[in-house]
Amino acid sequence: MMSDLLFARSQMAMSLAFHIVFAVVGIGMPALMVIAEWRWLQTRDPVMLELAKRWAKGTAILFAVGAVSGTVLSFELGLLWPTFMEHAGAVIGMPFSLEGFAFFTEAIFLGIYLYAWKRIPPRAHFVAGIVVAVSGALSGAFVVCANAWMNAPDGFTFVNGEVANVDPIDAMFNAAAPSQIVHMTLAAFAACGFAVAGVHAFALWRGTPHRAFHRAALQIALMIGLPAALLQPLSGDWSARGVAERQPVKFAAMEGHLKTGPGNFVIGGWPDPVTLEHRGAVEIPGALSWLVHGNPNTPIPGVDAVPAEDRPPLGIVHLAFQIMIACGMVMVTLALWGAWRWWQRRRGRGVALPDDRRFLAAVMACAPLGFIALEAGWTVTEVGRQPWIVHGIMRTADAVTPMPGLGVTFALFTALYIGLAIAVVFLLWRQILKTGVSGTPLGLTGEMPIPTPLADGQPVAGAAGRP
């Protein structure tokens, strides 16, 4: 039977896994709608204006559900982990407070963006979209600062079980924060870019009559997703080097480095926590030591460097890390292919990316990989820190609530998240239907509708269906 500690951890894991999707959307989707509106301001192409409006509606749906799941998370922190909040609240209260400020700023300006198309000048409306995008990114960054502090606690002293000498600035800008913020932000852009590109690639692959709309959407989504995918391995290397320095046991677990000595790069396999041997792995001798220290013979602390009770679950951490790396490499491969095809097209060779059926099929196949990598990466971050809730300071078992019966709350919150997931899928499917992906016409005539005027009462220039 599951213990209350396992129920609490499972409930928190489920809540975080659900909420992180909407947190990422709050970072990536506003960037897409702002780029679409900026291109409309430059070209007065009605297709771009229609894109901005459609993406804004999708952003609003996901933002609303994210607000609900985020509120639930804030209650769970206090209900499930009261000892953690008692000690850590004074240290990391600043990033949580700033996250709330950024969240409300995003909500206010998203409302302006949705309902002020005809009420404020176009350029002022565009600025409102920029504020939505920036505040969404800042909201994610502030939360990551708090999580980074749990991995690299700083800005306080712990004396006789009490927190003292708190410096909230040092705590917020801890050693792990910069690399985690960059890695998370790039992951958000890559995940959203690939997911949105996959939807519109499917429409083009099926032969939709609304090609101008979906071509424009695909190009903007790839403009966000492909560069982020190419930069992600660099940020990942930066983050991994920090983990190797500050959390060597987590680093050893995720890399599958079980015994202290020169590190081999382990591909696949399943680590045995008792014998500390791999089953079914492919190993490249000395490659891990070379990646970390530039010398294949440099020893790296293994999982055996700490007692068994201080080790994270080896199989889960290693598997999640391998999934994240695999998804990232596939996305990098697609990004390189797309960059090469774009360069070839610039030289007058081949067809444009939206007309290449093989490339469209690849984009469709890669559409969910960004979110899969995201979930796997957060599994590495959180499970890899165990058995600590604050690395080296407080154990997870010491932070959980003494309240019994957590299995009931786990069941109730699971039902809540399933209901929210069904509602999100239904609302998004209706929104996707409006884009013509499933054959539903975008307008009464089956052509791209001319958007309503913004300010001066005159229709915008440009023809529907313009590529």
Per-residue pLDDT tens, the chain, 467 aa: give them: 567 788 888 888 888 888 888 888 888 889 999 999 999 999 888 888 888 988 888 888 888 888 878 888 888 888 888 888 888 888 888 888 898 889 889 999 999 999 988 888 989 999 999 999 999 999 989 989 988 999 988 888 877 777 878 888 888 899 999 999 999 999 999 999 999 999 888 888 887 667 888 888 888 999 899 999 999 999 998 999 899 889 999 999 998 888 888 888 888 888 888 888 888 888 888 888 888 888 888 888 989 888 988 999 988 999 999 999 999 999 999 989 888 888 877 776 766 677 778 888 999 999 999 999 999 999 999 999 999 998 888 888 888 888 777 788 888 888 888 887 887 777 777 765 555 544 444 433 333 343 444 443 333 333 333 33
Q: Is residue 467 part of a domain?
A: no
Q: Is residue 389 part of a domain?
A: yes
Domain count, the chain: 1
Q: Is residue 95 part of a domain?
A: yes
Q: Is residue 463 part of a domain?
A: no
| pLDDT, position 421 | 80
Q: Is residue 295 part of a domain?
A: yes
Q: Which domain holds residue 332?
A: 4-434
Instruction: Write the CA distances from 394 to 15, 96, 308, 373, integer angstroms.
Output: 22, 20, 17, 28
Which residues lie closer than 8 Å to 333 by C-beta, 6 or more apart?
none
Q: Is residue 309 part of a domain?
A: yes
| pLDDT, position 135 | 92
| pLDDT, position 365 | 92
Q: Is residue 286 part of a domain?
A: yes
Strand partners, 158: 163
Three-class SS state of 443:
coil
Q: Is residue 446 part of a domain?
A: no
| pLDDT, position 205 | 86
H or E element: which one contains 58? helix 46-80
List, as one string, the DSSP characters of 122-190.
HHHHHHHHHHHHHHHHHHHHHHHHHHHHHHS--S-EEETTEEES--HHHHHT-TTHHHHHHHHHHHHHH
Exposure of 275 by Cβ count < 10 A (0-12 exposed, 13-18 middle, 19+ buried)? exposed
Q: Report DSSP state, residue 303.
A: G
